[in-house]
Amino acid sequence: MIVRILGEGQLEVDDSAADELNDLDRELEAAVEKNDEAGYRTALDALLERVRSIGTPMSADALQPSALILPQADLTMDEVRKLLTDEGLIPG
């Protein structure tokens, strides 16, 4: 499956990693819901770290959409909240 890290690009990640990534993602989601900034930071870093270490960067001219999209490391929790709403951070 293709995973995009915003601001960094797309990586090809083996489908077998889905469960593991979903677990990390649940921690991220829980932290955002609890408004737990420190937890959010830890969970996001762990998730990004994992994707970077198991993923293979895709070539720049690839035109495939991603199955999963991750916020970049320097996005604040508030920015991620905005990203999750439709009129959020994505222009256009």
Partner 1 sequence: MSVMKRVSMIFRAKANKALDRMEDPRETLDYSYQTQLELLQKVRRGVADVATSRKRVELQMNSLELSSNKLDKQARDALSAGREDLAREALSRKSGVQGQLADLNTQYTSLQGEEEKLTTASQRLQAKVDAFRTKKETIKATYTAAEAQTRINEAFTGISEEMGDVGMAIQRAEDKTAQMQARAGAIDELMASGALDDVVSGPRDDIQAELDRMGASHDVDSELARMKSELSQGSAPRQLEGSAGPADGQPTQAAQPADHQAGEGQ
Q: Which residues bind partner 1 (CB under 8 A)?
A: 3-4, 6-7, 9, 21-22, 25-26, 28-29, 32, 47, 59-71, 80, 83-84, 86, 88-92
Q: Which of 24, 72, 63 is nearest to 46 (CA)?
A: 24
Report the residue number, 6 or 12, with the smaller CB distance to partner 1.
Answer: 6
**Under 8 Å CB-to-CB from 7, ≥6 apart: which residues?**
72
Nearest-approach distance from CB 61 to partner 1, in angstroms: 4
- Beta carbon of residue 7, minimum distance to partner 1 (angstroms, whole number): 6
Distance in angstroms (rounded) separating the CA atoms of residues 13 and 34? 29
Helix 37-54 to helix 18-33 angle (10° resolution) is: 160
Q: Shortest gap between Cβ of 15 and partner 1 (angstroms)?
A: 14
